[in-house]
Chain A
């Protein structure tokens, strides 16, 4: 099936993504879920709100999925990133891949999440138990390597 890449404000349905990438050719069907963790860098987190430059996030995600599909030799890729307010344990991102073989399926899934974290314009603001909120800056600086 055509690769899927979306950002959405509604809860992610992982089984719908899995169904998209299953096929008689695929001996490996893999699902990665990212979820909101209750502790980050020692601080108790009660939830996260995800914001995005939505149009660019969608186009970057589409580019990643298309590039991954081409690099790893499968069109059976479905990626969805959630936006808005999420509670602890809610799913923020889902990556489903289908491939004839498991090695490539694992490699593709891993490649997609790392690329997503590197270049898709999505931001998260953590809410802490003391009532404060902060934007998370994983790199501590803008990533110069993203500039062409």
Chain B
């Protein structure tokens, strides 16, 4: 399945895009998704375990990613 991953702020700058399409086998976890992204050019500027949100909520690394999930990498937040 293809998962679209949203990127923001410093992570979007590092990977040179606001989103990425990532090809993943079924039953892949958030951890697998992050590993796939870390193979992309520029991803060495990301931390080893970036925060991930699935369907607008912070997600644990063992969470299974389902077809159609909205996935985003969340850089360290800096609101206020």
Contacts and interface: CB of A to CB of B under 8 A. Distances in A.
Contact of B75 (A59, A81, A117, A137): A137
A118 interface: yes
Which range holds the interface residue count of chain A? 35 or more
A144 interface: yes
Interface stretch (A11-19, A21-29, A119-127): A119-127
A147 B50 CA distance: 11
| Dominant secondary structure of chain A at its interface with chain B | mixed
A103 B50 CA distance: 38
A65 B79 CA distance: 15
Given A118-B77, A148-B58, A123 B10 contact: yes
A123 B80 contact: no
Contacts of A55: 56
Contacts of A148: 57-60
Interface of B: 6, 8-10, 13, 47, 49-51, 53, 56-61, 72, 74-80
Q: What 6 pairs across the A-B complex have the smallest Cβ distances?
A: A122-B79, A123-B9, A135-B10, A142-B51, A56-B56, A117-B80
21 contacts: A50-B79, A51-B8, A52-B8, A52-B79, A53-B6, A53-B53, A53-B74, A118-B77, A119-B58, A121-B74, A122-B80, A123-B78, A135-B13, A135-B75, A142-B50, A142-B51, A142-B76, A147-B51, A147-B61, A148-B59, A148-B60
